[in-house]
Amino acid sequence: MSNLAVKTTLGLTNLTVLLAVALFAPAWTLRFWQAWLYLFLFVSSASAITIYLWKRDRALLSRRVSAGPIAEKSRTQKIIQLFASLAFLAILVVPSFDRRLSWSHVPLWLVLTGDLLVVLGFYIVFRVFCVNTFTAATVEVAEEQTVISTGPYAFVRHPMYSGALIMLVGTPLALASWWGLVPFGFMIAIIVIRLLDEEKLLFATLPGYAEYAATVKYHLLPPVW
């Protein structure tokens, strides 16, 4: 088995275990059908995208397996990613406690809407991967990188973050928790800070990015911002 295959397999396995622990341990029960459905959709979507990249774009897959605070190059992004990791964990853990303590009462239709948002978010990320092989998990500019202006990039400058936010706002709803939206609010702020810091690098080092930004005005969500 190649080194990339090992890293990819371990990454998916560790992610699945982390999700399962975060979803069920605080709830102190396995009788949490919303969490089971969410876990299935999340892992299935992530696995499907991984299989696609393994078959079609292993260079991008290699860029994606190194993620998290340690993998970042700049100190600022290390700190940002640390807070992003904590916020993501909170988005899972708070609904789990919510299930245990019965804080929220979310209707079934909204739970299923949350699940649809999770899948939609993953689909948008998938579309980004289809058109941009340089979407590394860390903030950096590759030597041969070029500006992408097709697909989702024709509408917003950072569609992968848009997809991630859609998936993340769907998460607490899918887990039947109103309180889970609180850490999601923090995640919005963290992603905006990461995005703005990343744009400084893109404007400074990626040829053609300034012209692209002048054409595509919106960062995340037209016509809001």
Q: What is the pLDDT of residues 176-185, one digit of tens each?
A: 999 999 999 9
Least confident of 8-12, 13-17, 93-97: 8-12
CATH of the domain at 20: 1.20.120.1630
Residue where the block lists tokens 């590394």? 136
Is 224 inside any structural domain?
Answer: no
pLDDT digits (tens, 9 = 90+) for 122-148: 999 999 999 999 887 777 887 788 899
Is 220 inside any structural domain?
Answer: no
What is residue 86's predicted lDDT score, i.e. its pLDDT? Answer: 95
Is 27 inside any structural domain?
Answer: yes
**Residue 105 lies in domain:** 3-215
What is residue 48's predicted lDDT score, i.e. its pLDDT? Answer: 96
pLDDT digits (tens, 9 = 90+) for 22-60: 999 999 999 999 999 999 999 999 999 999 999 999 988
What is residue 222's predicted lDDT score, i.e. its pLDDT? Answer: 87
Q: How many structural domains does the chain have?
A: 1
Is 127 inside any structural domain?
Answer: yes
Distance CA 171, CA 191 (A): 16
Is 113 inside any structural domain?
Answer: yes
pLDDT classification of 1: cutoffs 50, 70, 90:
low
**Rounded to whole angstroms, what are the CA distances from 56 to 61, 133, 148?**
9, 10, 18
Element at 218 (helix H, strand E): none
Is 105 inside any structural domain?
Answer: yes
Is 183 inside any structural domain?
Answer: yes
